[in-house]
Every structure is written in structure tokens, then in C-alpha cells.
Amino acid sequence: MMTKKTLQLLATTALLAGLGFNTVTASAATVNPAEKDATSVSKQTQASVSLTGGGDEGGNAAGGIHLISAPNVAFTGTLTGDKQTLHDVTFTNELFGDKTKAPKELKDGALVVGNQGYETGWNVQVSADAFNLNNPVAKDANVTKDSKVLAASQLVLDASKVSATDDNNQSNSPLGNKVTLESDGSTGNLPIFQASAGKGIGTWISQFDKATSSFEIAAGNKAGNYTSKLTWTLANTPDTTGASTQTPSTPAPAQPSTDK
């Protein structure tokens, strides 16, 4: 019994010795002579980030692109009896969808589009219904329907001042246009804010310019308050329906951040 146990022990020892020898030999064989005396070594791994475009939540979006704000427009003036151009205008913002997502400290007269990461391009078009006379005075109570419409006059909206809400936005800027809408509602849709494919990603503002927006009033229109509905239509495609007939914008330069 002693002999059998001793042989088993020797056999095990020989096997272990063999493994030890082979391991040392393999290790010695994989040493890179160029790295033998190196004081540092570099290896590589991989890093990645997966970005998903935002959704259509809120009822004010098309293909993940949101119409956040558009302006109400109010002109005032005193008739002279001749053709005249009004410049006294007040813009106020109408916010759509989740109002908490609107840019902070938004100035009045802002057309705002938020693109949550899509390269499709987009465009906003505007149209105006006829400007109708509201609550005519008693002597005009029986005037015809046509005579209640502001005649031969034009609303001019200049939306050419474009900027991103983030000064460090890396996307190419969209363009804003200066458009003219007939007072009888005959103009139809006009492209006023647009981005070609791959541009206009992020949140962008087209700021309406009071100095260059106007209302041209033809002679012969009666005094009174006239109102119209402006319709703003957002599509998640670039405009190809005549944007070249409008005056394109020059994007406003980014302002240096004041954050410390």
C-alpha cells in the first residue's frame, strides 16, 4: 500500500512539473523584445453613444419637429385718406404644446421651431384669411359682405432674423423670409421659416422685425377694426413650392454666452 501511494505522488509531481515548465516556456516566447524595457503601454477599447430623436408628443409636432411658438400681430394707425404704410405694430407670442418647453426669456414676435434630432429638413408656411370689419357702426350695418373686407392692402411680415437658442448649436442655420399677405385672403400659404435637409437641428427662433414689418393700407378703406386668422403650418420636409419668390434671411450672428 505504501508503494502505490508513493507512485501516485511521484506521478502527480511530474505532471505538475511539466505544466510548470510549459507555462514558463510559453510566457517567455510571447515577450515582445521592443516592449521589454518599456515604461508604459497603451491598449484600446471602444466608447459609443446612442442618440434617439424626440417624439411627436404634445400635438404640435410633425415627425419629431415641433412648432413651439408663433406671433399674434396687431397694427394701429390713423387714416389719412391716401395710401399709407403702417409701422406701429405689436407682436405677442402664442405658445403651443407643452409651454414649459418654450425657450426662457422669449421675446415677443418669435416664431420658434424645435427639431429633436432629425435630418429631414422642415418648413413653416403662413396664410391669412380675409381681414373683415368687426362690429360696424350703425350707419354701416347694412353694408355688403364685400365692403366689410379690407381692400387692396398688404400685410408684410419680416421673419428674417434667425438664431439658435443655444449659442453653441452645431447645426447649419435655417432661413427666415419676408412675406407679403393680401388683405382679402387670396395669397395662400407662403414659406416663412425653413431648413433644408440636414440643417435646422435644435431649437431655432425667427424673430419678427418691427422696423421692417408693415401694413400697407390702400386709400378708400373705411375706419374700423379688422381681424384675420393667421394659419401657421409646419411640415417635416424642406419647402420646394416657391420659397425663392420670397426674400431670404441673413442669420443673425451668435451672441457670446454670458454664463460663467
* Per-residue model confidence as pLDDT tens digits over 160-176: 999 999 999 999 999 99
Q: Which residue has the higher pLDDT, 259 or 105?
A: 105
**Structural domain includes residue 182:** yes
Contact 103, 203 (CB under 8 A): yes
Q: How many separate domains does the chain show? A: 1
Would you state the pLDDT for residue 113?
96
**Structural domain includes residue 82:** yes
Pairwise CA distance, residues 244 & 257, whole Å: 34
CA atoms within 13 A on the CB side of 83: 6
Residues 41-73 pLDDT 10s:
888 898 988 777 776 666 688 888 999 999 999
**Structural domain includes residue 218:** yes
Q: Which residues pair with 65 in a beta bridge?
A: 62, 115
**Structural domain includes residue 47:** no
Would you state the pLDDT for residue 34?
64
The pTM of this model reads 0.74
Residues 77-104 pLDDT 10s:
999 999 999 999 999 999 998 887 788 8
Cα–Cα separations (whole angstroms), residue 47 to 41, 117, 170: 19, 21, 21
**Structural domain includes residue 53:** no
Structural domain containing residue 174:
61-245
**Structural domain includes residue 36:** no
Residues 184-224 pLDDT 10s:
999 999 999 999 999 999 999 999 999 999 999 999 999 99
Cα–Cα separations (whole angstroms), residue 168 to 154, 206, 257: 38, 17, 9
Output b/e per residue, 119-136; b: 16+ Cβ within 10 A.
ebbbbbbbbbebbbbeee
**Structural domain includes residue 185:** yes
Contact 173, 204 (CB under 8 A): yes
Beta strand extents in 33-164 (DSSP E only): 61-62, 65-75, 84-86, 89-95, 110-115, 122-128, 132-134, 154-158, 161-164
pLDDT of 21 > 50? The answer is no
Task: List the single range of 24-33, 61-70, 125-134, 245-254 with lowest mean pLDDT.
Answer: 245-254
Closest to 126 (Cα-Cα) out of 207, 58, 70, 174: 70
Cα–Cα separations (whole angstroms), residue 97 to 113, 135, 217, 230, 246: 12, 32, 35, 18, 29
Query: To the nearest whole number, what is the mean pLDDT of the chain?
Result: 80
**Structural domain includes residue 255:** no
